[in-house]
Amino acid sequence: MTEVTREVFGHLPQKGGRGGAVEKFLLKSDSVKVEIISLGCIITALETKGRDGNLSDIVLGFDRLEGYVNKHPYFGATIGRVANRIANGKFTVEGKEYQLALNNPPNSLHGGNKGFDKVLWTPEVLLNGIRFSRTSPDGEEGYPGELKAWVTYTLDGGELVINYRAQSNNTTPVSLTNHAYFNLAGQGSHDIYNHEVSIEADSYLPVDDTLIPTGEVAAVQDTAFDLRKPVELGRHMQKFQLPGFDHNFCLERSEVRRYCARAHHPPSGRTMEVYTTQPGIQFYTGNFLDGSLEGKGGSVYPKHSAFCLETQNWPDAVNKPHFPSALLRPGEEYNHTTWLKFTAA
């Protein structure tokens, strides 16, 4: 059984009469507790049990709404209309060129200046979860077409399921993901070097110095990106002199649920497995965290104090014809699901 409760988390500042109450929803099973707010469908807390049976909050974030309203690195947020980077913020659809905000110069990142992470969604409580919906107007952040989107979180025992659906009245690129930052030792822990990570991918996308894929689909074999067997992160990054990961790993394409990644923290016994229908997963090791933000309970979040495993389409796919298509056409439905399975042993 999953228990679902709601409360007011805070109020958005009134800008041109656009304030409003932000609600928080608590999903609770016998082994997992998740808190999600209606601003950006943000996961603000995620408590899972270690082998000692005690719950710890394993995602980075803030105690108060103010933290999420101010600038932050997308902690826990739903990302859209297009996750990740679009080169030079430009793309052409059906012969027309579109220009987006260059909010991560020289590129557009995570939907632009005011992406799906920074808007209020309309909540609907379900038996075992919560469904959020919104309509992104035609031209919002420079994207074509009115897009209706639904993000549904359900909790089933130790498994958090996130489903994304979208429909558009005009052809538009769409790629939705969640940007939760995890530390299985508990948020506020200093680093993730003792985590063991594996990703079920035979290839990855090399990037240029602005983190845009070069277009090459490279084999992981005999490289630092071969994570098909678990590696201890700190040791692995040292061995290959890696400043960290911020790369898309290419998954076997499938319409159905399939396993793609695993993170394990030996001291606590916590394990997270990721399953998805998406063609890619961005593995990010918190390289841009710098300890400047005050997080939950006064925690600071230095570099490499968390990781993200963001299931999504390949970055800049709208400009790379040989990548999986990012385009959603009228009459079609974008529909992807990601499952996060939490265990302890």
DSSP category for residue 228: S
User: If residue 67 lies in a helix (H) or strand (E), which one and from where to where?
Assistant: helix 65-69
190 included as an active-site residue = no
- Out of 35, 47, 273, 310, the active site residue is 310
Active site residue 310: yes
Neighbours of 170 (CB within 10 A): 16
Alpha carbon 305 to chain centroid distance? 16
* Helix (H), strand (E) at residue 68: helix 65-69
Is the Cβ–Cβ distance between 56 and 46 less than 8 Å?
no
The DSSP bridge partners found for residue 311 are 281
**b/e burial code for range 186-200 (CB count within 10 A of at least 16 → b):** bbbbebbebbbbbbb
Q: How large is the greatest C-alpha to C-alpha distance in the chain, in angstroms?
A: 59
ω into residue 267 within 30 of 0, thus cis?
Answer: no
- Pairwise CA distance, residues 157 & 112, whole Å: 35
Closest CA to 280 of 325, 240, 241: 325
Say which DSSP state 65 is in.
H
Cα–Cα distance between 156 and 139 in angstroms, integer?
37
Tokens representing 243 are 């400043």
Q: Would you call 219 exposed, middle or buried from its count of C-beta atoms within 10 A (0-12, 13-18, 19+)?
A: exposed
Which candidate in 72, 110, 179, 195 is catalytic? Answer: 179
CA–CA dist 257, 156 (Å, integer):
15
In angstroms, the CA 268 to CA 134 distance is 38
The continuous run of DSSP H or E covering 235 comes out as: helix 233-239
Q: Which residues are catalytic?
A: 179, 310
